[in-house]
């Protein structure tokens, strides 16, 4: 049997930009993507801590070490600059792999710099 398990999570990311006219997606600092084991065009689940909104989109690589977290396209209606987000990816795993897998969890500070890796 396969189960959908948390693969990686970025906790307390701060929205730095929104762009309603963009075609869609979430632009994220390349360094954060690399540290969280996330790749461009990967599906992400977004949980807005500030307002409770939840949505699914995909990632676009932003400039490295820029701290950018930009909510784009229609999703820009669900977040504002300064909102805090949880950004999560999931993976299908068989029961045997679950016992050995540990998700990557990054906790960020208010400037989208890594405060802690779990």
47 is catalytic: no
Neighbours of 59 (CB within 10 A): 21
Q: Is 17 exposed, middle or buried (0-12, 13-18, 19+ CB in 10 A)?
A: middle
> 22, 25, 41, 70: which is the annotated catalytic residue?
25
Q: Which of 8, 47, 58, 100 does the annotation list as catalytic?
A: 58
Is-catalytic flag, 70? no
Contacts of 20 (CB under 8 A, 6+ apart): 72, 73, 74, 76, 77
Catalytic residues: 25, 58
């Amino acid at each position: 049997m396969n189960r959908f398990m948390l693969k990686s999570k970025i906790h307390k990311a701060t929205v730095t930009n929104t762009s309603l006219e963009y075609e869609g997606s979430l632009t994220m600092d390349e360094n954060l993507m690399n540290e969280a084991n996330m790749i461009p065009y990967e599906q992400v689940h977004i949980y807005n801590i500030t307002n409770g909104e939840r949505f699914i989109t995909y990632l676009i690589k932003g400039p490295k070490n820029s701290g950018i977290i930009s909510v784009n396209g229609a999703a820009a209606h669900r977040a504002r600059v300064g909102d805090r987000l949880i950004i999560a990816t999931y993976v299908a795993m068989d029961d045997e792999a679950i016992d050995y897998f540990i998700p990557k969890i990054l906790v960020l500070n208010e400037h989208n710099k890594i405060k802690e890796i779990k």
